[in-house]
Structure 1
């Protein structure tokens, strides 16, 4: 019976060879072997795009309405399209790029939904050798990238995340090890910062300035004062003038230090200095003094005849002394106050100095210097020249190039 089946199969192959066109023998042999050893893939047919087109995953996320519901809808449509979920790695990589634009980069539910896109129980190793080597490396690296982005945004995984990873890759896979390291280190580093940044930064510039100044100030007794709120004012001539916010902070110790400032030296307003709070950059200004501007207490030399309070001794340096530079021993000017303003011009900062005179009357006797650095400027395009001048310059360049070519030719002739 078995031999009969072989004869029937050989007869069918010979009949198929009769209908083949006349080609070279090795080409016909390769086509025959390809026809014999190739079988159709099981499962429903999938419409694959041609090789010169891009997978339409980026187009699926390019929507006008970008929120959590629309993001999850794209993932649900992909999961329900095909049982085998072909192209899941490309979809996950595109989803990771689009998450900040949808505002779901810190949502644990969305990350678990991304891990649920992987086919289940397909990439689990079946023996020791598969566990020893990286089984399905591209899929495991994609899952590790998801966990890396969770770590970057400070999202702590939960038990559902562990269940999805074990169901997809097994207990001894690299994504599960990454999950275990995150659960080990996240609770230990969660409360190490004594001055944590608020989770939700306020959009109000006055409230944001209050948070930033309280974070910069080293004294807990420092008081924040709002000198000016953002508003618009209509002048007598009908013009509209906008006033930016102006918020300052000063502690009682700074007030006492400013009262002891020597009137011979001026006070300096410096800035702006950048301060980053997550992805928000703000700028603040400082009222400070130069080194050595503090009043020196004059001591009476006859206060104690036997034990004088000050000795003027001119001692030479020893050869064994260290002349290296130490940052901790550098004298800097004392900081008297800080502020944050919407516009850092001298007019707005001058209002700040005038408001500080109510609690610091000595500012009326001190000269104030403004050392303000220019902010970021836009790149200015060069001025376009007139057509006539540009044409003359091009002609001059061409004539100089021709002269150089003639000189090189003459030099070559002389060398020959």
Structure 2
């Protein structure tokens, strides 16, 4: 009953003040509250307004880094879209995009709010920006992103929460992070498992995803006997050597460097660029080329693409048309090699009358597409006819029959600009000296020496 009485007394005092026309500056009430009239506000200004709070935020800030200012602005921004987090990464990458800059952005976001508000949107934006910073294959960066999640908040406490997919949005974000690791071939480590257990628990979807990755990845990690390194050589000659040895199906193939890349300046001051020329040829290809009919032309074809992860290189072939049936000559096997002295593991001919069951089919439907023989392969810095002619000239030293065989160039528009006819024609004074041809030992003989 005290509250209604106090309100009634305040109302009565206000009426008496208006009736008497005298300003009542302050009336002391039992509760310690103060009553002030409109005249008192005009007289004393804002000094007698005890319960007033300004809703405006102070614009003065202490000196901070630009990233921390951007992170604080996001705290007051109601729009939690990916644009704000993308802007945070773009401001950090104005000068350079390195791993240190990426980690600095993650640290700024982790320290700006202890509750990690907007962490799901930030992690999605960080996953999208990882290839730009070159950290898409770094396991420590993925663990740092997992550390952004609040700990022990999304862990289900009972079987009902576990059954109804506790915090599905956060679990889906964790699974998406692990899927990106899987796409780049990154195997999680023990720290990843500990973080997932602290964030989502032992029976969550991200933990199940981690267990599947750890089961299958070690089985297929060394499935490819000829893996391509993640970092390819920057030297074009080394890259051509690696690519040609990967294409060649014979370990005895000999790789030859016909010309190294260089830049010369002529007497007139013109700059002449000499591209690299690297070729490979096996002994079987050399013997087939020696038996080629001089009346039939050979063709230089290309360029053909070869992808090495994200790098595309191009190579050229020296080949011929398929041999007509009337010119085919079946090679007779040496009778000395067919007998008790032949190898039982690699026999040249097997003549056995094997008994077959009644249901066996003796006919085979095989689509035999005949292709012309391939005599050599090469990679060059330029795909014009003048550069490839130097490759053919180098092949004539080991295969003199090429000087008698007509050569036809079937070149398509390659990745580089073709030289004009005026650039290809050289005067005797401007003729470029050729480098000595360097022949490497076959791969098979190198392994035997080792």
Aligned residues: 320
Q: Could you say which residue in structure 2 is the equivalent of 1:96?
A: 127
Q: Deviations over 1:234-282 (max 9, x none)?
A: 2233211111111111111111111111222111111111111110011
Whole-Å separation in 2 of the counterparts to 1:377 and 1:250:
25
Q: Could you say which residue in structure 1 is the equivalent of 2:88?
A: 60
Deviation at 1:133, TM superposition (A): 2.4
Whole-Å separation in 1 of the counterparts to 2:301 and 2:232:
26
Whole-Å separation in 1 of the counterparts to 2:312 and 2:121:
34
- Normalising by structure 1, we get a TM-score of 0.71
Q: Deviations over 1:270-299 (max 9, x none)?
A: 111111111001111111111016964499
- Normalising by structure 2, we get a TM-score of 0.66
1:73 aligns with 2:101: no
Unaligned runs of at least 5 residues, structure 2? 8-73, 333-360, 418-450
RCO higher in structure (CA 8 A, sep ≥6): 2
* 1:136 corresponds to which of 164, 167, 181: 167
Q: Deviations over 1:28-62 (max 9, x none)?
A: xxxxxxxxxxxxxxxxxx94314498653212212
Asked whether the 8 Å contact 2:193–2:210 carries over to 1, the reply is yes
Whole-Å separation in 1 of the counterparts to 2:248 and 2:331:
34
* 2:239 corresponds to which of 197, 202, 208: 208
1:350 aligns with 2:381: no
Whole-Å separation in 2 of the counterparts to 1:298 and 1:193:
37
Asked whether the 8 Å contact 2:80–2:121 carries over to 1, the reply is no
Deviation at 1:134, TM superposition (A): 2.0
Unaligned runs of at least 5 residues, structure 1? 13-45, 301-319, 379-416
Asked whether the 8 Å contact 1:275–1:283 carries over to 2, the reply is yes
Q: Deviations over 1:365-413 (max 9, x none)?
A: 11111111223699xxxxxxxxxxxxxxxxxxxxxxxxxxxxxxxxxxx
Whole-Å separation in 1 of the counterparts to 2:302 and 2:215:
42
Whole-Å separation in 2 of the counterparts to 1:159 and 1:299:
61
Q: Could you say which residue in structure 1 is the equivalent of 2:398?
A: 359
Q: Could you say which residue in structure 2 is the equivalent of 1:271?
A: 302
1:330 aligns with 2:361: no
Deviation at 1:168, TM superposition (A): 0.4
Q: Could you say which residue in structure 2 is the equivalent of 1:339?
A: 378
Asked whether the 8 Å contact 1:261–1:293 carries over to 2, the reply is no
Instruction: Give the CA RMSD over aligned residues.
Output: 3.0
Asked whether the 8 Å contact 1:262–1:293 carries over to 2, the reply is no
Whole-Å separation in 2 of the counterparts to 1:180 and 1:339:
46
